Amino acid sequence: MVVKAELEKLGFNPISVELGEVSLSENISADDKINIAQKLSHFGFELLEDKKTQIAEQIKTTIINLVHYTREPLKINLSSYLSKHLNLEYSTLSSIFSEIENQTIEKYFIAQKNRESQRNAYLWRTHFKRNCFSVKLQQRCASLFSI
User: Is this prediction's pTM over 0.85?
Assistant: no
Per-residue pLDDT tens listing for the chain (147 residues): 788 888 888 888 888 888 777 888 888 888 888 888 888 888 888 877 788 888 999 999 999 999 888 878 888 999 999 999 999 999 999 999 999 999 999 999 999 988 877 777 776 767 665 555 555 545 544 444 444
- Measured distance CA(5)–CA(125) in Å, rounded: 37
